[in-house]
Chains A and B, each alone.
Chain A
Amino acid sequence: MLKDFTTAIRPALVLTALFALLLGVAYPALLTAIGQALFPAQANGSLIREQGRIVGSELIGQAFASPRYFHGRPSAAGKGYDPTASGGSNLGPASRALVARVKSDLAALGPDRHGTVPADLVTASASGLDPHISPEAAEAQVARVAAARAMSARQISGLVKQQTEMPLLGILGEPRVNVLLLNRALDRLHLAGAQAAR
């Protein structure tokens, strides 16, 4: 039994050290080198730049409060859409706190609300950084955005349809709209309209 133990000491120590170098250093370093060379945009966080400034990542949702913008889902990440504190609300299905939050979000929708509300619009995502909402949740906000920007609802609704991504091969994923990309397209459309009017 003692020999079983003593014969293990050298392999255990040396192999741990070597595997630490191979798997803990060389492997991530190799992938970083290849990733940065082949897919630099993705490897660095799919950043969106505007005039040299970084305005966000395509993959990470942002908080929107202005009526001129489409709003994402309620977020439990920090004070909302904080990537240094990702996570969900973790509230159970029969939680008082959940019901209170949903009621207050429903009230805040106010005039946007016609009939039932799509679930994703009043539920917190798992990451708190969900970049998407469902097309129905976007449609529910069209009237508000149109009024705030003095644009036609038909035009904005068309933009939502244009920005809707459908499931891959009809199976993978849900129909969805990236809120940040939609709002950027909305700003561009608004600007183009204003310039044409001038």
Chain B
Amino acid sequence: MTLQGWTLIAIYTAVILSLAKPMGLWLFAVYEGRRTWLHPLLGPVERALYRLAGIDPSAEQGWRRYTVHMLLFQVVALLLTYAVLRLQGVLPMNPRGLAGITADGAMNTAVSFTTNTNWQWYSGEAVLSNLSQMLGLTIHNFLSAATGIAIAFALFRGFARRESGTVGNFWADCTRITLYVLLPISVVYALFLIASGVPQTFASSIDVTTLEGARQTLVVGPVASQEAIKMLGTNGGGFFNANSAHPFENPTALTNLVQMLSIFSLGVGLTWTFGKAVGNPRQGWAILAAMMLLFLAGTGIAYWQEGAGNPVLHHLGVAGANMEGKEVRFGAAASALFAVVTTDASCGAVNAMHDSFTALGGLVPLFNIQLGEVIVGGVGAGIYGFLLFALLAVFVAGLMVGRTPEYVGKKIEGREVKLAVLAIAVLPLCILGETAISAVLPAGLAGPLNQGPHGFSEILYAFSSGAGNNGSAFAGLNAGTPFYNALLAVAMWIGRFFVIVPAMAIAGSLAAKKHHPEGPGSFPTTGPLWIGLLIGIILVLGGLTFLPSLALGPIADHLTMTSGKLF
């Protein structure tokens, strides 16, 4: 560990905190459907989309209609990607003549990108044509991010509206977020990436004769345009197998910093937008404070472990940090920080291989995902997931003081608490259930690369990542089999929509309620006591649920590693 490393972490945190309000203001304008300075340019595009699709953007929808429209849109876009991947062999822009994808593989990938997970069983440079990357995947990088934010907007309206039967219009939310937030930022961002060395071409490969006279084939393509939205939309699916560790995706320490900032930028902005939407920005700051404290704790542990290095290699006379699976231009600090950011958010891009982290260094990203991806979290998904925990926290506080709980002006009653518990409980059921199945069936046991507890960690990480819609991996696991493709597709779908539907039901239920002004007996939801309670609820739920499985994986791994036992 170095002063330089801690300085990087401090600077990162400061910049992220300073981004919350400007990003939040911008998102609030889009939430309200206000005119922005981009409207003269993009307003005609927006209107044309509505006209052609027969959409009335001012038609308010109740929570059921909003949800059904969203779901049907997901299914149609999923089928488009499935078709593009299956037909890859006969579609254009495929100079390397890559074949179509198998049914189980194409379904897994279509679900993966639709659910904003971007779990990748395949190696992009070996399997996908440029057309598949663009038409099959880039489109979902935008739409799954816009969908996540739209759901968050609907939930915000549930808190903000009084005795209302509606929560907004899904098509208007999704289109505006795409056009006025994701697209313009991605264009500028991608240009920065190109200038820094990320390829952007329709060529596919370049043959090279190396200095020693060997042949090397460089794979290129429209990388920058996908990279920008991959990070901004917390998607995380790399153009290449090595993801953001690949020098063509993430060539310099500066692009690395910008990538880490872009993962959190919209998520922290949405906390501010929430505060503004419910009429008190301090509500948003309190949520952000709880998130950032959890983020700093994870970062501290991960950097401490990775910076200290691998004791097994130290015994052999190797000095320094744990560099297995890390790039020299990033080093231990920027790799540990990236790993925490990408798993706090449900991004899943990686600039280092989490599988080769030290046992406790690798526990941090795994535990982050298991906490429900609510530490900033995926765009939209982070804040609506966090608000479910906030409802449980006011419920617990209400039990302690013996009053009906309330939160930002709404009474929280049985229906909301039941729905919140339903949404939160589905994740552990899916993660632990599917891990258990895979840890006993031969098809599951064929997956891990590593032996011993680390092999179990690979399986546990895969289902945590799938159900948490993260997409990063302990990538030694050979997941490109029908068994894992099917199980993980189920995990990703449940992890996304079995949380969204209860969250939307809560939005509808809250919107219909009267405003309940804060009184002297109300539990304050802005101060340090509240922040502490939130952190406590998140850690207790996550910890109690997953500690036994972590003991079998990373913790056993750590104890055996420090005692010198190899597997």
Interface flag for B427 (CB, 8 Å): no
Separation in Å of the B439 CB from the closest CB of chain A?
Answer: 17
Given A20-B139, A31-B225, A88-B245, A94 and B567 contact (CB-CB distance below 8 Å): yes
Chain B residues with Cβ below 8 Å from A174 are 253, 328-331
Please give, as numbers and ranges, the residues of chain A lying within 8 Å of B136 by CB-CB distance.
24
Please, what's the 1-or-0 string for B39-52, where 1 marks a CB less than 8 Å from any CB in chain A? 00000010001001
Instruction: Give every chain B residue within 8 A of A173 (Cβ-Cβ).
Output: 252-254, 256, 329-331, 334
Specify which of A20, A63, A87 is in contact with B242 (CB 8 Å cutoff): A87
Residues of A within 8 A of B335 (CB): 126
Chain B nearest CB: distance from A187 CB in Å? 8
Across the interface, do B201 and A44 meet the contact criterion of CB distance under 8 Å? Answer: yes
Number of A-B residue pairs, CB cutoff 8 Å, is 387
Encode B304-316 as 1/0 by CB contact (under 8 A) with A. Answer: 0000011011001
Identify which of B325, B334, B451, B560 gathers the most chain A CB atoms within 10 Å of its CB: B325
User: CB within 8 A of B245: which of A103, A106, A118, A127?
Assistant: A127
Instruction: State in angstroms the CA–CA spacing of A86 and B557 once bound together.
Output: 27
Residues of A within 8 A of B356 (CB): 88-93, 98
Q: CA separation between A150 and B475, bound complex, in Å?
A: 44
Tell me which of A129-137, A141-149, A155-163 binds B: A129-137
8 A Cβ contacts from A52-91 to B: 53-66, 69, 73, 77, 81-91
B247's partner among A54, A59, A73, A91 (CB-CB below 8 A) is A59
Q: Are A27 and B65 in contact (CB under 8 A)?
A: no
A28 and B222 within 8 A (CB): yes
Known interface pairs A55-B209, A86-B242; A31-B53 also in contact (CB < 8 Å): no
What B residues does A95 contact at CB under 8 A?
A: 450-451, 454, 566-567
Cβ contact within 8 Å between B76 and A16? yes
Cβ of B463 under 8 Å from chain A: no
Q: What is the minimal beta-carbon distance from B343 to any residue of chain A, in angstroms?
A: 16
Asked if B138 lies at the interface with its beta carbon under 8 angstroms from chain A, I say yes
Asked if A23 CB lies within 8 Å of chain B CBs, one says: yes
B518 to chain A, nearest CB (A): 35
A residues in contact with B355, CB < 8 Å = 88, 90-92
Q: Given the complex of chains A and B, what is the CA–CA distance between A9 and B209 in angstroms?
A: 53
On chain B, the number of residues with a Cβ less than 8 Å from chain A's Cβ atoms is 126
Binds A, one of B346-354, B498-506, B525-533, B537-545: B346-354
User: Given A24-B139, A118-B319, A171-B4, A32–B225 Cβ distance below 8 Å?
Assistant: yes
Distance in angstroms from B72 CB to nearest chain A CB is 4
CB distance from B86 to the nearest CB of A (A): 16
The one of A69, A102, A124 in contact with B325, judged by C-beta atoms closer than 8 angstroms, is A124
A1 to chain B, nearest CB (A): 7
A42 at the interface (CB under 8 A from B): yes
A118 partner residues in chain B, CB cutoff 8 A? 318-320
A103 to B565 CA separation, bound complex (whole angstroms): 16
CA A167 to CA B561, docked complex, whole Å? 33
**Which stretch from B99-107, B160-168, B188-196 is at the chain A interface?**
B188-196
Is B253's CB under 8 angstroms from A168's CB?
Answer: yes
Against B, the Cβ 8 Å flags (1 = close, 0 = not) of A158-194 are: 0000000001101111101000100110010000000
Assess whether A64 is in contact with B212, with CB atoms less than 8 Å apart: yes
Further pairs besides A4-B64, A87-B475, A88-B355: 16, Cβ < 8 Å: A12-B72, A18-B53, A24-B135, A28-B134, A31-B194, A45-B201, A45-B218, A69-B212, A87-B242, A90-B475, A91-B449, A93-B356, A94-B565, A126-B242, A128-B242, A172-B8
Give 5 nearest A-B pairs by CB, closest first.
A173-B253, A126-B245, A90-B476, A92-B454, A116-B319
